[in-house]
Each structure stands twice: as structure tokens, then as C-alpha cells.
Amino acid sequence: MQCAGNISDVEAAFRRIKQKFASNPLYAVGISLGSCILGNYVISKGSKCGLKGMSLVSVPYEAYTLSKIMDRQLFNIYHWGLGFSLVQQMKEHKNELKSLESMLGLSIEACTRKIKTLRDFDNVVTSKVYGYKTTDSYYRSISLASKLGAITIPCFLLSPLDDPIIP
């Protein structure tokens, strides 16, 4: 399961890389949702993050605002496409996901019937599995806009001025 507020995978990966290449400096790049994950990792770990620097590309600075933009008709196809892809993944891995049913309060099959968009997935699955009260609280917690000042390592931010999706 993927959650932009869960940094455990990134932490484990960086720990493994540092073990294998201890004498080399470590830099990282996060793109789109990955930039939220990387940014939140660095913010949570501070100077102990193990990185010398990072680049964040096409950052969804305000995930809540982004979710509202994606609800608009022009971008709805993106929202639906991600929802469809996540449903397909859930169906493909339903046996592995069975252990989550008590947490979700629904069978995996029932979840897949309720999910049409990325926001639906975050409402039905992500917020429940990762303990967020609401989908909006999840989106607000992963947003970097108000946290950028807490980044303690060199950071290059790159976002196109004319990006129609990322505010």
C-alpha cells in the first residue's frame, strides 16, 4: 500500500543504500507525489535524514487544493484513470489485501465497487489504513507548502509555471 504520509519505505531504502555505499554522499529526487514523500521524510528526520541534498519536481504543494482541481471536469479523466488503476491493482492482489478488510470495514470486493477516482481510493482505503480521520486531513498532512521552512538540507524545487494540474 502506498501513502504519501508514510515514509517507512523511503527510510528503509536510504538506510540500505547508506549501508552499501557508506562512503558516498546521498542525494535524492522526488517527482510529483514522490516529492511529497521525500519532502516529508526529510522534514521528519531533519539533519539526521542522511541526505546531502534533494530535488523536488512538480511538487503538489497543497494536496487538498490539487484534489479539488482534479475533481473539475477537464482533469477528471486523470482522477478516474488513477482510480481505475488502483481498483485493478486491488482486484489483482485481493488475497494479499484480505487482512485489511477489518480495518476498512468492507470486503476488498466491496471497496473496489465504491472506488471510481483517486479521491475515492484515499477515502475508502488510504485514510483508514493509515489512520487519518478524513481524506481531507490526509491531504493536508502530506502537503509541503506550510512545511518548506522546516527542510534542513539543500533543496532544489522545480515546478513549471504553466502546469495545469499542480497549483
Q: pLDDT tens digits for 89-104?
A: 999 999 999 999 999 9
Domain-located, residue 2: no
- The model carries a pTM of 0.87
Handedness of CA 145, 155, 157, 34 (dihedral sign): negative
Per the structure block, which three cell numbers stand in for 50? 542522511
Is pLDDT of 70 > 90?
Answer: no
Checking phi first, is residue 119 left (phi over 0); if not, alpha (psi -120 to 50) or beta?
A: alpha
List the 53-57 sheet strands across, edge first. 27-31, 53-57, 155-158
Domain-located, residue 3: no
> Within this chain, do residues 68 and 121 fall inside the same structural domain, yes or no?
yes
Domain-located, residue 48: yes
> Within this chain, do residues 122 and 87 fall inside the same structural domain, yes or no?
yes
> Within this chain, do residues 132 and 74 fall inside the same structural domain, yes or no?
yes
For residue 128, what are the domain limits? 63-140
Of 146, 125, 145, 123, the closest CA to residue 136 belongs to 123
> Within this chain, do residues 53 and 91 fall inside the same structural domain, yes or no?
no
* Number of folded domains that form the chain: 2
- The answer to whether 152 and 42 are in contact (CB under 8 A) is yes
> Within this chain, do residues 30 and 56 fall inside the same structural domain, yes or no?
yes
Domain-located, residue 163: no
Is pLDDT of 154 > 90?
Answer: yes
